[in-house]
Amino acid sequence: MKKVIALSFSALALALSFCTSSKQTTTTTSSPDATKKPTVTYLADIQPIMTNNCGPCHFPPKGNKKPLDNYADVKSEVDDIIKRIQLNPEDHGFMPAHHPKLSDATIQTIKTWKAEGTPEK
Protein backbone atom coordinates (compact mmCIF):
# COMPACT_ATOMS: atom_id res chain seq x y z
CA MET A 1 0.00 0.00 0.00
CA LYS A 2 2.85 2.40 0.83
CA LYS A 3 4.34 1.83 -2.64
CA VAL A 4 1.05 2.76 -4.36
CA ILE A 5 0.74 5.98 -2.34
CA ALA A 6 4.40 6.89 -2.94
CA LEU A 7 4.04 6.21 -6.68
CA SER A 8 0.86 8.35 -6.83
CA PHE A 9 2.57 11.30 -5.14
CA SER A 10 5.56 10.98 -7.45
CA ALA A 11 3.32 10.99 -10.53
CA LEU A 12 1.40 14.02 -9.26
CA ALA A 13 4.60 15.93 -8.48
CA LEU A 14 5.98 15.14 -11.93
CA ALA A 15 2.77 16.28 -13.65
CA LEU A 16 2.69 19.56 -11.69
CA SER A 17 6.31 20.31 -12.45
CA PHE A 18 5.60 20.14 -16.18
CA CYS A 19 2.62 22.49 -15.87
CA THR A 20 4.60 25.09 -13.97
CA SER A 21 7.65 25.14 -16.25
CA SER A 22 5.62 25.33 -19.47
CA LYS A 23 3.76 28.41 -18.24
CA GLN A 24 7.04 30.11 -17.32
CA THR A 25 8.53 29.31 -20.73
CA THR A 26 5.52 30.71 -22.59
CA THR A 27 5.55 33.94 -20.58
CA THR A 28 9.29 34.45 -20.97
CA THR A 29 9.29 33.74 -24.71
CA SER A 30 6.37 35.95 -25.72
CA SER A 31 7.14 39.09 -23.71
CA PRO A 32 10.21 40.47 -25.54
CA ASP A 33 8.70 40.02 -29.03
CA ALA A 34 5.50 41.82 -28.10
CA THR A 35 7.36 44.98 -27.02
CA LYS A 36 10.07 45.00 -29.68
CA LYS A 37 9.91 48.16 -31.78
CA PRO A 38 11.15 48.28 -35.36
CA THR A 39 14.57 49.79 -35.87
CA VAL A 40 13.74 51.22 -39.32
CA THR A 41 10.58 53.09 -40.29
CA TYR A 42 9.43 54.71 -43.50
CA LEU A 43 9.05 58.21 -42.08
CA ALA A 44 12.32 58.30 -40.16
CA ASP A 45 14.62 56.34 -42.45
CA ILE A 46 13.22 55.35 -45.85
CA GLN A 47 11.48 58.55 -46.94
CA PRO A 48 14.72 60.59 -46.72
CA ILE A 49 16.55 57.95 -48.80
CA MET A 50 13.82 58.10 -51.45
CA THR A 51 13.77 61.89 -51.47
CA ASN A 52 17.55 62.22 -51.77
CA ASN A 53 18.17 59.42 -54.26
CA CYS A 54 15.01 58.82 -56.29
CA GLY A 55 13.81 62.34 -57.01
CA PRO A 56 12.97 64.08 -59.18
CA CYS A 57 12.58 61.13 -61.61
CA HIS A 58 10.21 59.17 -59.34
CA PHE A 59 8.45 62.19 -57.81
CA PRO A 60 5.41 63.53 -59.71
CA PRO A 61 4.63 65.90 -61.35
CA LYS A 62 8.20 66.18 -62.71
CA GLY A 63 8.80 62.47 -62.46
CA ASN A 64 8.39 60.42 -65.61
CA LYS A 65 8.98 57.07 -63.89
CA LYS A 66 7.02 54.90 -61.46
CA PRO A 67 6.12 57.16 -58.50
CA LEU A 68 7.98 56.54 -55.24
CA ASP A 69 6.90 59.65 -53.39
CA ASN A 70 4.73 58.08 -50.69
CA TYR A 71 4.63 55.17 -48.27
CA ALA A 72 2.14 53.02 -50.21
CA ASP A 73 4.11 53.23 -53.46
CA VAL A 74 7.46 52.47 -51.85
CA LYS A 75 6.01 49.61 -49.82
CA SER A 76 4.44 48.03 -52.92
CA GLU A 77 7.70 48.30 -54.87
CA VAL A 78 10.20 47.42 -52.12
CA ASP A 79 11.26 44.11 -53.71
CA ASP A 80 11.98 45.77 -57.06
CA ILE A 81 13.74 48.69 -55.35
CA ILE A 82 16.06 46.33 -53.47
CA LYS A 83 16.75 44.33 -56.62
CA ARG A 84 17.64 47.43 -58.64
CA ILE A 85 19.79 49.20 -56.05
CA GLN A 86 21.88 46.04 -55.58
CA LEU A 87 22.78 45.94 -59.29
CA ASN A 88 26.06 47.37 -60.52
CA PRO A 89 25.95 50.73 -62.34
CA GLU A 90 26.72 49.06 -65.69
CA ASP A 91 23.82 46.57 -65.33
CA HIS A 92 20.51 47.13 -67.11
CA GLY A 93 17.91 48.38 -64.62
CA PHE A 94 20.42 49.80 -62.13
CA MET A 95 19.05 52.52 -59.86
CA PRO A 96 19.58 55.33 -59.21
CA ALA A 97 20.24 55.79 -62.91
CA HIS A 98 23.13 58.09 -63.82
CA HIS A 99 24.23 58.32 -60.18
CA PRO A 100 26.71 56.39 -58.01
CA LYS A 101 25.60 53.18 -56.37
CA LEU A 102 24.03 53.62 -52.93
CA SER A 103 26.19 52.74 -49.96
CA ASP A 104 26.02 49.26 -48.46
CA ALA A 105 24.62 50.82 -45.28
CA THR A 106 21.81 52.52 -47.20
CA ILE A 107 20.94 49.31 -49.04
CA GLN A 108 20.96 47.42 -45.74
CA THR A 109 18.62 50.00 -44.20
CA ILE A 110 16.04 49.33 -46.92
CA LYS A 111 16.47 45.56 -46.55
CA THR A 112 16.03 45.83 -42.78
CA TRP A 113 12.89 47.91 -43.26
CA LYS A 114 11.44 45.17 -45.45
CA ALA A 115 12.47 42.42 -43.00
CA GLU A 116 10.75 44.28 -40.16
CA GLY A 117 7.47 44.40 -42.06
CA THR A 118 7.77 47.85 -43.73
CA PRO A 119 6.52 49.90 -40.76
CA GLU A 120 5.40 53.42 -41.58
CA LYS A 121 5.99 55.09 -38.19
Instruction: Tell me, yes or no, whether 30 and 46 share the same domain.
Output: no
Dihedral (C-alpha) 61, 67, 69, 70: value to the nearest 10 degrees? 130
Residue 25's domain comprises: 1-34
Dihedral pair phi/psi, residue 14, rounded to 5°: -65, -45
- Eight-class DSSP state of 36: P
Q: What is the pLDDT at residue 56?
A: 87
Over the stretch 6-16, which tens digit does the pLDDT of each residue have? 555 555 455 55
Instruction: Tell me, yes or no, whether 65 and 104 share the same domain.
Output: yes
Q: How many domains does the chain have?
A: 2
Instruction: Tell me, yes or no, whether 68 and 21 share the same domain.
Output: no
Over the stretch 41-81, which tens digit does the pLDDT of each residue have? 999 999 999 999 998 899 888 777 899 999 999 999 999 99
List Cβ neighbours of 78 (8 Å cut-off, separation of 6 or more). 110, 113, 114, 118
Instruction: Tell me, yes or no, whether 25 and 64 share the same domain.
Output: no
List Cβ neighbours of 97 (8 Å cut-off, separation of 6 or more). 57
Instruction: Tell me, yes or no, whether 29 and 51 share the same domain.
Output: no
Instruction: Tell me, yes or no, whether 78 and 109 share the same domain.
Output: yes
